[in-house]
Structure 1
Amino acid sequence: MNERILRVLEYTKIKEQLLGHVSSSLGKEKINKLVPWTTIEDVKHQQNSTDEGVQVLRLKGHVPLGGIRDIRSSIKRSEIGGILNPEELVDISTTIYGGRRFKRFIEGLLEDEIDLPILANFTGQIVPLTDLEQEINLCIDDNGAVLDSASSTLKTIRQQLRSFESRIREKLESIIRSSKSQKMLSDTIVTIRNDRYVIPVKQEYRSSFGGMIHDQSASGATLFIEPQSVVTINNQLKEAKNKEYQEIQRILRQLTERVAEDADILLHNVEVLAEIDFIFAKARYSHSIKATKPLINDNQYVKLKKARHPLIPAEEVVPIDVELGGDYNSLVITGPNTGGKTVTLKTIGLIAIMAQSGIQIPAEEESEVTVFESIFADIGDEQSIEQSLSTFSSHMTNIVQILDQINFKSLVLFDELGAGTDPTEGAALAISILDYVYERGSRIIATTHYSELKAYAYNRDGVMNASVEFDVETLRPTYRLLIGVPGRSNAFEISRRIGLGEKVIEDAKSHISEDNNKIDLMIASLEDAQKQAELERVNAASINEEAKQLKKDLEDRLQEYEQTKNKLYTEAEQVAQNAIEKARKEADEIIKELRQYQKEHGTVKEHKLIEAQKRLEDADPMLTSKSKSSLERKKPITQNLKPGEEVKVLSVNQKGHIIDKVNEKEYQVQIGIMKMNVNEDDLQPVKAEKKAPTKPVIRVHGSTITKTELDLRGERYENAMRAVDKFLDESLLAGYPQVSVIHGKGTGALRKGVQSLLKEHPNVKSTRMGAAGEGGSGVTIVVLK
């Protein structure tokens, strides 16, 4: 992108705002070098990275990027043999820690299954270098001081230093406390001159202490003397300090060599951290201007919804809707001065550049931008004083350069095209320039005062008129952009508002051609129609929002209803299941007793069957009043039941066959191995049930069973297990020697559960998988005892 274009569109101010959101000098450097990308792959990648940063800030509110420093110069010095000072080593340590902490932060988000592919890739490249960080921290504290623990030698030397300093202070303090010495001293303090401990002595007593003079006061009345009694210890102290310095240099050299060993890794970490800081600077800036991620295309199509100029305060900016590259490639904006035409032009150009820089744009969701190879602009008064060019000449010089460089992937912005010269010639030149740019396939937005360009937009395919609205009531622009409506000068209305006589205005109108008057009336009509359409659109949007809210409320209520209903069903099912379980256990016990009785006596006596029937009736779960009344309403018709006819005993929910009629109200029925007398009201002919075209089926707790089959396909696991248990009991009572359980193939979980239950069931003799004609592995054949 041309540097002048970036300056004209105020891109540098956007970068200045971005700089307020960086966490380190690394991010600052990235922003200073930032220029728009010109390939769709790069732009999409940058926009996606910014969006990931926005997502992290939305979820966490912050990002731990503190402590990161630009340590590249220190690393390079370590590679060429220089010795790093403690402050440089501390910066390296904090940068390692900052990278490690950020890596752990992102890994935590990834563990929560948050999709951050770009940040995950960056953090995956960060090498923690924990050993180097710990080595530096063991030797140097946060303030850059080398610690005693850095080496045993340094610790010994510093113990000696403290000992020498203590002895010197003791000797000097004994001197200044002496009553004999106090009159010779200017002040009773111990101080330091030239790294040696001294006392302030009056000039006339210089010979009383001996030793060395290191300094004197400005007046010469006080001498700072090192008494002879501490000279030797001071010499020892100085020698220890030299040893301390040498040991510290050795420690720093050793740490520097460690840094040099990991130089390549450190440099790569720094590059990664610079990218990360850049991403989150863009993300924070996006939050500050309430920006959104635009859709990116490569077909030169732009559609901005409620776009705002990012440099205008939020309480002042007026959003605009703009489309370019769909039904039309050129937009001609007309309207009065100070109406906002230039701001509109800059808004569109600046948003295009921001999007191509990976910065989210100040517009509504689903706004769409394209990737331009180049953006050109001729905006404002840029006449060259040095070249003594007029305004018109300056603009034409710039336009000539633009026309030489444009192509079908260019965006061209013209402000007041053709202005600064004769209106007729200027308008003709403007039309010619617009035609030339249009033929080259570029996207164009131009502002103008010329009426001829309003007609131009009407007469050319691919060109659209637009205007900035002006309120003649308040004599102020509204800054709203009206697509499809050319602008009016509003000169007569404005003049009337500020008091110009009606006669003068009418006389002025008489000088305007009839065609121009018709055009003004047409434009006024279009403006009114557009305003009305906008009001209706806003009203429709409001109604739509209310409908959406109503729909949401209804959905919430429906969901609440479903939850309550499911809860009640679950509770009722549990109560029923408990009752059924109790009845099943009782039935199992009765069958067990009957089998035992049959085993001991050979046949089951009548009184035993009657007793068993009574116990079964007592074990039957109590029905609710609703269920009972429903059963009573469906009383079976049992007239003329004949021996051998298949019937259902309702009280025990079992099928059997009529043996004989005992009396007018009772029949003898055989159910499996049992014979019992049953009242006709408790019998229902099987033939009365509604038959399906295939073999008869009934539903048992959600599972479909036939006479000798149980179909579990589609059932939940728990329901299926209960259905199998009940089916086996019923089959046993019916006297079936063999039954089939259809569980399907699926994932195999249901089949395994069924086979496990069958294996432990006391009434199952053996099981096998179905043969090819029986359903294969989707069916288990059960042989009953």
Structure 2
Amino acid sequence: MIAQRTLRTLEFHKIREEISRFCTSALGKAKVEELVPSTDFMEVVRLLEEMDEAAQMLRVKNNVPMGGISDIRPHARRAQIGGALSPVELMEVSSTIRASRVLRQFIEEMNEEEELTTPHFLEKKELLPILTALEKEINACIDDNGGVLDSASAALRTIRQQLRTQESRVRERLEGLVRGRNAAKMLSDSIITIRNDRFVIPVKQEYRGHYGGIVHDSSSSGQTLFIEPDSVVQLNNEVRRQRMREKEEIDRILQVLSAGVQEVAHECFVLVDVLADIDLILAKAKYGAANRCSTPTMNAEGHINLKRARHPLIPIDEVVPNSIAFGDEITAIVITGPNTGGKTVTLKTVGLSTLMAQAGIPVPALEGSELAVFDQIFADIGDEQSIEQSLSTFSSHMVNIVDILGKFDEHSLVIFDELGAGTDPQEGAALAISLLDEVHGRGARVLATTHYPELKAYGFNRPGVANASVEFDVETLSPTYKLLIGVPGRSNAFEISKRLGLPEHIISHAKSFTGSDSRAVDSMIASLEASRRQAERDAETAQKELQDAEELKQRLASELAQYEQQKDKLDEKAKEKARKIVDNARTEAEQVIKELRQMQLNQAGSVKEHQLIEAKKRLEGAAPENRVLQRAAKAKQIAPLAAGDEVKVISFGQKGTLVEKVSDTEWIVQMGIIKMKLPESDLNFVKPEKQKEPRTMATLKNRDSHVKLELDLRGERYEDAIMRVEKYIDDALLSNYHQVSIIHGKGTGALRQGVQQYLKKHSRVKSYRFGEAGEGGSGVTIAELK
């Protein structure tokens, strides 16, 4: 456990006060007052993970419902010993139970929606007791203002109905007196009021005997008496009796409800403890968000790496952030430099940040900072500037240091401010060196500040020790509060004196009293500072160029994304336009074919030449001039086209057969009964599923004539007809036809059966059917080929 002296020295109580402002309940504030840093590594990690989950919840949901929470532990304890709770206390119990129910539901919904996963808060949700039954029971009897409802019991409802009836009778009787003929003269005011829970009227002093009855009160002047007339005494007595019955029934109801609280008193204690813990965790997260803090990575090896850390008690717009890293190869840092330069602030920043992290509080540093979990943290820090240098000052420091030397080990962080101060400079410097050797030699992490110039060389000849200083601007004669690791502080007395107007000969005379070694050290320090400033300027320039390059990269990436998005939109638009063109062409082609079929049906299979020419022109006019589709078709072509090939006409979406090539770029294509001249770019070769022999121009040229799409067997003998069918099917397959018509007539049906029997057994015939009405009906068999 961290010593209370260290917590006071590093002002940890002020951090608790800051966090307490973000609590939503007195429970959370009480929990903050008990908050102390933990020295258990796993517990510290858990505390920071809980706080980090709370911070994420606040970022996602902006708020976590924690309203309506009260400390109901005193109520539960009184209920445990049989005491009756008041309506207000019972409402506080109900409100706290409701708050836990709402919070539990909030955590469940957030994790179910997969917006955020909070395993630690899910565990705490499981710890919250479910007391919904008690909440409903209390709410059914007590209203939001702490009053007992009529519906709390049937008896209470009846009593209150009778009470209201009796009060109405009293009011009616008194209103008759108030509105009487002499009332304006005898009464101070025409009102009915209540004194001692009884209805009375204000009567002037001189007419007190007119109404008789009981005097319950008088005005401050004594001129008005509040009298209960004789005529309403019995009625008021009945009202009083009903009120006593009402109170008895209310006490009984409260006793029953208190017994319900008694049964779950232990659960109430658990409920309050968990809610207080959650309120504390949320307060830490809110504090971190308000002060731009981050969650550090923790280790058990004593490594500290704070990135642009700020003292948490100095306003953000005033504090100068500093980065400090040690604990690995370097385990001790000695900071030298003038007073008011920020040395003590640096010590407190490291110490207080470590305490905050070990208490599960985010630290005021950039993301990626790292802190260690120490078993003990010791701090000897005193405001040396505000107390007179005397033996008592040195003694008080030494008493504390002696106490530290008896308790620290290799798992400790030790902070010394102005080590060895308050005594003779030579002895103080020697003592400071000895103390640093002792603490550093025993493996502790050490941060120390000093005025003594002898300690400037301390870090140069001891492994694991580094010098540091706070920067001082000679031009402005003021500290910059920047910490310089690796650069010891140097005296600026001569430069400051010169800037303030001290004559040059006095300064030169003073320099003659300083040793050459001292001047050489100051010269070396000055050179180091100049090199550091140049390195910082170079780093800033490089950082600026890196930032500009990153911004340019992001801008180019954004523009590229916009270009790709616009390109996709234009491609989709072009495709949609092409689809509409093809759809329109297909619709027109289908309409032409439909009309031709209708002509063929109406004109008994005979279509005139001029009708075919007109249909051909309409089909050519429907063909879309889509270069994108033509290029796509050309890209898909796998071999030179040849007469007899089956092709797909892209612009129509229809299949056809190549008849003849009329030029280098055009073909005659037959689609059904229509022949058209089409550009080769609009044709896409359709590869047959199976081919008995290779497709060559010689095969096609050796055929006697072009194979027709139909075979007429009418008038043929049966055997001859079947032979012709066999040859015709072979020729049709060689011509890559996918469908042929065989005309066998109706007759006796023998030829038809023979043809269909042959087709049924043929391996390359996919299916066959009778012709439609416009195709010849049952006198024609349509065969679909594979």
TM-score after normalising by structure 2? 0.76
**Are 2:665 and 2:680, in contact at CA under 8 Å, matched by a contact in 1?**
no
1:209-608 equivalences under 5 Å are: 209-215=211-217, 223-381=225-383, 390-576=392-578
- Write the distance in 2 (CA, Å) between the matches of 1:629 and 1:12: 79
- Write the distance in 2 (CA, Å) between the matches of 1:192 and 1:410: 74
**Are 2:26 and 2:70, in contact at CA under 8 Å, matched by a contact in 1?**
yes
What residue is the counterpart of 1:94 in the other structure? 95
What residue is the counterpart of 1:171 in the other structure? 173
Letter in 1 for 2:45: K
Report the CA distance between 1:195 and its aligned residue. 2.5
* Cα gap change, 1:586 to 1:265, in 2 (>3 Å): farther
What residue is the counterpart of 1:42 in the other structure? 43
Report the CA distance between 1:613 and its aligned residue. 12
1:14-25 equivalences under 5 Å are: 14-25=15-26
Partner-residue secondary structure (3-state), 2:406: helix
* Cα gap change, 1:153 to 1:440, in 2 (>3 Å): same
1:70-81 equivalences under 5 Å are: 70-81=71-82
**Are 2:666 and 2:680, in contact at CA under 8 Å, matched by a contact in 1?**
no
What CA deviation, in whole Å up to 9, does each residue of 1:732-781 have, x standing for no partner?
A: 999699xxxxxxxxxxxxxxxxxxxxxxxxx9969xxxxxxxxxxxxxxx
Query: Which stretch has the larger CA shift, 522-531 or 94-103?
Result: 94-103
Letter in 1 for 2:99: G
- Write the distance in 2 (CA, Å) between the matches of 1:636 and 1:207: 128
Report the CA distance between 1:108 and its aligned residue. 3.6
What residue is the counterpart of 1:135 in the other structure? 137
* Cα gap change, 1:327 to 1:589, in 2 (>3 Å): farther
What CA deviation, in whole Å up to 9, does each residue of 1:221-263 have, x standing for no partner?
A: 6654433222211211111111010010111112222223333
- Write the distance in 1 (CA, Å) between the matches of 2:167 and 2:658: 120
2:71 counterpart of 1:84: no
**Are 2:646 and 2:687, in contact at CA under 8 Å, matched by a contact in 1?**
no
Letter in 1 for 2:261: V
Report the CA distance between 1:389 and its aligned residue. 7.0
Query: Which stretch has the larger CA shift, 122-131 or 313-322?
Result: 122-131
- Write the distance in 1 (CA, Å) between the matches of 2:301 and 2:516: 43
Report the CA distance between 1:461 and its aligned residue. 1.4
What residue is the counterpart of 2:28 in the other structure? 27
Letter in 1 for 2:21: G
* Cα gap change, 1:735 to 1:69, in 2 (>3 Å): farther
What CA deviation, in whole Å up to 9, does each residue of 1:512-543 have, x standing for no partner?
A: 10010011111111111112211221222122
**Are 2:306 and 2:369, in contact at CA under 8 Å, matched by a contact in 1?**
yes
Report the CA distance between 1:110 and its aligned residue. 2.5
**Are 1:211 and 1:227, in contact at CA under 8 Å, matched by a contact in 2?**
yes
- Write the distance in 1 (CA, Å) between the matches of 2:582 and 2:223: 114
1:699-710 equivalences under 5 Å are: none
What residue is the counterpart of 1:2 in the other structure? 3
- Write the distance in 2 (CA, Å) between the matches of 1:224 and 1:632: 113
- Write the distance in 2 (CA, Å) between the matches of 1:662 and 1:392: 114
**Are 1:294 and 1:360, in contact at CA under 8 Å, matched by a contact in 2?**
yes
Letter in 1 for 2:440: Y
Letter in 2 for 1:559: A
Letter in 1 for 2:437: D
Report the CA distance between 1:106 and its aligned residue. 3.1
* Cα gap change, 1:138 to 1:733, in 2 (>3 Å): farther
What residue is the counterpart of 1:198 in the other structure? 200
* Cα gap change, 1:628 to 1:408, in 2 (>3 Å): same
Report the CA distance between 1:456 and its aligned residue. 0.7
**Are 1:26 and 1:69, in contact at CA under 8 Å, matched by a contact in 2?**
yes
Larger radius of gyration: 2
1:565-714 equivalences under 5 Å are: 565-576=567-578, 622-624=625-627
**Are 1:658 and 1:667, in contact at CA under 8 Å, matched by a contact in 2?**
no
**Are 1:332 and 1:447, in contact at CA under 8 Å, matched by a contact in 2?**
yes
What CA deviation, in whole Å up to 9, does each residue of 1:374-428 have, x standing for no partner?
A: 2110000599x9xx97111111111111122222221111100111112222112
Report the CA distance between 1:645 and its aligned residue. 13
Report the CA distance between 1:164 and its aligned residue. 2.7
* Cα gap change, 1:535 to 1:666, in 2 (>3 Å): closer
* Cα gap change, 1:423 to 1:402, in 2 (>3 Å): same
Query: Which stretch has the larger CA shift, 611-620 or 524-533?
Result: 611-620
**Are 1:662 and 1:668, in contact at CA under 8 Å, matched by a contact in 2?**
yes
Letter in 2 for 1:501: P
Letter in 1 for 2:420: G
Report the CA distance between 1:682 and its aligned residue. 5.9
* Cα gap change, 1:184 to 1:330, in 2 (>3 Å): same
Letter in 1 for 2:372: T
What residue is the counterpart of 1:52 in the other structure? 53
**Are 1:708 and 1:736, in contact at CA under 8 Å, matched by a contact in 2?**
no
**Are 1:139 and 1:146, in contact at CA under 8 Å, matched by a contact in 2?**
yes
- Write the distance in 1 (CA, Å) between the matches of 2:144 and 2:648: 90
- Write the distance in 1 (CA, Å) between the matches of 2:662 and 2:99: 96
Q: Percent identity?
A: 51
- Write the distance in 2 (CA, Å) between the matches of 1:270 and 1:470: 53
**Are 1:656 and 1:669, in contact at CA under 8 Å, matched by a contact in 2?**
no
Ranges in structure 2 where 5+ consecutive residues have no aligned partner? 601-612, 691-732, 739-763, 768-783
TM-score after normalising by structure 1? 0.76
**Are 2:302 and 2:373, in contact at CA under 8 Å, matched by a contact in 1?**
yes
- Write the distance in 1 (CA, Å) between the matches of 2:65 and 2:282: 11
Ranges in structure 1 where 5+ consecutive residues have no aligned partner? 598-609, 684-697, 710-731, 738-762, 767-782
**Are 2:304 and 2:370, in contact at CA under 8 Å, matched by a contact in 1?**
yes
- Write the distance in 2 (CA, Å) between the matches of 1:620 and 1:68: 78
* Cα gap change, 1:177 to 1:764, in 2 (>3 Å): farther
* Cα gap change, 1:667 to 1:204, in 2 (>3 Å): closer
What residue is the counterpart of 1:725 in the other structure? none
* Cα gap change, 1:237 to 1:506, in 2 (>3 Å): same
Report the CA distance between 1:174 and its aligned residue. 3.8
- Write the distance in 2 (CA, Å) between the matches of 1:637 and 1:24: 83
Letter in 2 for 1:99: S
Cα root mean square deviation, aligned? 4.8
- Write the distance in 1 (CA, Å) between the matches of 2:293 and 2:345: 18
Partner-residue secondary structure (3-state), 2:271: helix
Partner-residue secondary structure (3-state), 2:470: strand
- Write the distance in 1 (CA, Å) between the matches of 2:500 and 2:161: 91
- Write the distance in 2 (CA, Å) between the matches of 1:667 and 1:217: 122
**Are 2:491 and 2:522, in contact at CA under 8 Å, matched by a contact in 1?**
no
Report the CA distance between 1:574 and its aligned residue. 4.2
Q: How many residues align?
A: 690
Partner-residue secondary structure (3-state), 1:461: coil
Report the CA distance between 1:40 and its aligned residue. 2.5
Report the CA distance between 1:486 and its aligned residue. 0.8
**Are 1:382 and 1:395, in contact at CA under 8 Å, matched by a contact in 2?**
no
Report the CA distance between 1:651 and its aligned residue. 9.2
What residue is the counterpart of 1:62 in the other structure? 63
Report the CA distance between 1:573 and its aligned residue. 3.7
